[in-house]
Amino acid sequence: MDERYLQEKNIRIKQEANDWEDAVRKSGQLLVDSGCAGEEYIEAIIEMVKRDGPYIVISPGLALPHARPEEGARREGISIVTLQEPVEFGHPENDPVDILVAFTGSDGDSHLEMLQALAGFLNQKENLEFLRQANSPREVIDYIKNREKGG
Amino acid sequence: MKILAVCGVGQGSSLILKMNVQQAVDEMGLDAEVENTDVSSAKMEEVDLIVASGFHEGTLKEALSPVVIVKDFMNVEEIKKQIQEFLDQKGG
């Protein structure tokens, strides 16, 4: 995963969240603060979950908050939030969630490239285990860098 | 065969699902082309199989193609099992 997309300031470790909505807001806010999205992007994610159900919880413990690019995305970016205490999204199988990886996309090819790198990373269980026990954003960035160097 | 991996937006979760469906069919030795799209477009597509989350099962009731549901988008074994069950049913 390229540092163009995931910066240290977009990672928050062992955060506290009152509920799923609070957790989604925290992960979305990092994208807003880094200029990747407008506030409306966060609202779009929350509305979609309320309307369609928490399908963004794609795997046990892991949520991928995202909306359509036209719903407030400004440029491509990723944020990672891990939670001190997991929250319930109301997903029948994959609750509770303790890792949120929010992202914004665009329609370009670079978006696809970013998502493929992200998917490749999240697909490996040991990477999720690493995120769960990580103690600082720097640790996460270093881990990702070393991993890419090592192949 | 042609398979669609589906999510609400058609770009995030479905891309991850697509990668894992591709891995599943490769491991099963099936000759399949996998693409990802959003749930509304998928409804209107005629393909061999749609793979989706349970939350989209309702929307996909009117789909023109058969649908299998996967709970964990990152569990290749589960995806393989669902596709195999579909193929067994189709064959039998």
Q: What is the pLDDT of residues B25-68, one digit of tens each?
A: 999 999 999 999 999 999 999 999 999 999 999 999 999 999 99
Pairing state of beta strands A97-104 and A62-63?
A: parallel
Question: Degrees (nearest 5) of the Cα angle B61, B17, A118?
Answer: 145
Q: Cα torsion at A130, A131, A132, A133 (round to 10°)?
A: 60
CATH number at residue B39: 3.40.50.2300
Confidence class for position A119, pLDDT limits 50, 70, 90: confident
Scanning every residue of chain B, which has its alpha carbon at the shortest distance from the alpha carbon of A107? Answer: B11
Domain total of chain B: 1
Q: What does the pLDDT look like over A71-111, one tens digit per residue?
A: 999 999 999 999 999 999 999 999 999 999 999 987 767 77
Q: Residue B53 in contact with residue B72, Cβ under 8 Å?
A: no
d(CA B60, CA A150): 42
B69 touches chain A (CB under 8 A): no
- For residue A60, the distance in angstroms to the closest alpha carbon of chain B comes to 7
Domains annotated for chain A, with CATH where assigned, are 8-150 (3.40.930.10)
Tell if the CB–CB gap between B19 and A119 is shorter than 8 Å. yes
With CA atoms as reference, report the closest residue to B68 among B29, B25, B26, B27: B25
- For residue A105, the distance in angstroms to the closest alpha carbon of chain B comes to 8
Complex ipTM, two decimals? 0.84
d(CA B45, CA B3): 10
